[in-house]
Amino acid sequence: MSEALAGFRPARRTPAGPVPLDRALHRVPAAPVAAPDALPGFARSTVDGYAVRAADTYGVSDGVPGYLQVTGAVLMGAQPTVTVGPGTAVSMPTGGVLPPGADAVVMIEYTQQVMPGTVEVVRPVAPGEGVVRADEDAAPGAELVPAGRPLRAQDLAMLAAAGVTTVSAHARPRVTIFSTGDEVVPPETATLRPGQVRDATAVALAALVADAGGEPAVSGIVPDDAQALETALRAALPASDLIVVSAGSSVGARDETASVVGRLGTIWCHGLAVKPGKPTLLAECDGVPVIGLPGNPRSALVVFRLLGVPLVRLVGGCTAPPPEAVVRARLARDLPSAAGRLDVVQVKLADGVATPVFGLSALLSVLTTADGYVIIPEEATGLDAGTEVDVTIYR
């Protein structure tokens, strides 16, 4: 399983294209973005107060205040019209441009206007105090955002501040989703005939794809028929960056999926040491990665979170995926596990205790009841009650 997770690294990457900033959240920059100019671009006051020469304030205190002549005021968003000379001060709003001659700003809290045109200063300031340097937020050419890491809210803010309103980002990977099985019917089916089940997997896979930054295309239900599946896959390859097939649930149907995929490309592995999720297929056809998922929805979703989501990100150029939401909790009971097999155990969380939710792998209710899951690694033979575990939270 670890081998499959780490080893299957298809070369495919989506191309880069321009994305406007207001649609760029979570998009993946294809190249680092550098600051075109210094930011903020001018020395800027960080407080309300008076622009001064710091030397004029040395030694002042509550007991021995200094007195400066106020020669003017800086307005927000405007070039200062006055210069600060020895013994003078200029009134400043937070965010205003530091006037020529000044090297610090005294906070208004440490001043008092004793008479019109004169301000009393009771605290000394050092040069640079109360001021952001012109290039303190970014020097020209500094990296504003790296390539490969999905853009976060503050990255958008920084790009906006720098006037970068379009980013070159990887296209969202187009992920084609097929369901297979003679028993599978669309969710819209009002009344089921005996033996039929509605397609539960496709809509959930599409959701996971979208959350991973992909563009899902739910492409319908293919009957358990090799020719029909081959035709569907061939037709989907040109417009897909990744293909996901939730295979039939019986051994025969799974083998059929594998043999069809084998005819179209190279099977990288078939069968994983993971529970649930053993009958998983990884392949590459015409440069398009293909994932064959177990037939039952619960196993399909568990495996897709572990293998499919990282693949969607990889193909979409994401080299620094955002971390999952993880909570530490103590296990409510012993969890047995076979060595050599990775176990994904669903748990409910309450008051720092993780209680396993057991049930057949055919049951979706095990997943909907769970708040998250615990992974028992391949080398472990189980975990004792009371062990601290990382619970990855569903969201």
327 forms part of the interface with a copy of itself (CB under 8 A): yes
252 forms part of the interface with a copy of itself (CB under 8 A): yes
How far apart are CB 287 and a copy of itself at their closest, in Å?
28
184 forms part of the interface with a copy of itself (CB under 8 A): yes
How far apart are CB 11 and a copy of itself at their closest, in Å?
27
Q: Beta partners for 147?
A: none
308 forms part of the interface with a copy of itself (CB under 8 A): no
Which one of residues 89, 175, 357, 367 is an interface residue with a copy of itself (CB under 8 A)?
367
Task: Judge contact between 30 and 298, C-beta under 8 A.
Answer: no
Residue 382, Ramachandran bin (φ over 0: left; ψ between -120 and 50: alpha; else beta): left
Tokens of residue 74, six digits: 């800086």
339 forms part of the interface with a copy of itself (CB under 8 A): no
Task: Judge contact between 46 and 98, C-beta under 8 A.
Answer: no
Task: Judge contact between 104 and 128, C-beta under 8 A.
Answer: yes
Task: Judge contact between 170 and 315, C-beta under 8 A.
Answer: no
60 forms part of the interface with a copy of itself (CB under 8 A): no
> What is the longest distance spanned by two Cα atoms in the chain?
95
194 forms part of the interface with a copy of itself (CB under 8 A): yes
124 forms part of the interface with a copy of itself (CB under 8 A): no
228 forms part of the interface with a copy of itself (CB under 8 A): no
Ranges within 263-292 binding a copy of itself (CB under 8 A) = none
101 forms part of the interface with a copy of itself (CB under 8 A): no
Torsion sign (Cα): 253, 313, 362, 375: positive
112 forms part of the interface with a copy of itself (CB under 8 A): no
Which one of residues 14, 88, 296, 299 is an interface residue with a copy of itself (CB under 8 A)?
296
95 forms part of the interface with a copy of itself (CB under 8 A): yes
How far apart are CB 134 and a copy of itself at their closest, in Å?
11
Ranges within 127-156 binding a copy of itself (CB under 8 A) = 132, 136-138, 144-145, 150, 152-156
By beta-carbon proximity to a copy of itself, the closer residue of 250 and 387 is 250
Which one of residues 12, 198, 278, 341 is an interface residue with a copy of itself (CB under 8 A)?
198
295 forms part of the interface with a copy of itself (CB under 8 A): yes
Sort 273 into a burial class: Cβ within 10 Å, 0-12 / 13-18 / 19+.
middle
Which one of residues 277, 297, 308, 316 is an interface residue with a copy of itself (CB under 8 A)?
297
How far apart are CB 177 and a copy of itself at their closest, in Å?
11
Q: How far is CA 367 from the centre of its chain?
A: 23
Task: Judge contact between 213 and 318, C-beta under 8 A.
Answer: yes
Tokens of residue 242, six digits: 């990744």
Residue 283, Ramachandran bin (φ over 0: left; ψ between -120 and 50: alpha; else beta): beta
How far apart are CB 366 and a copy of itself at their closest, in Å?
9
94 forms part of the interface with a copy of itself (CB under 8 A): yes
User: At residue 160, what are phi and psi to the nearest 5 degrees?
Assistant: -60, -45
Q: How far is CA 329 from the centre of its chain?
A: 24
Helix H segments across the chain?
Answer: 2-7, 153-161, 201-211, 226-236, 251-264, 297-303, 309-315, 365-369
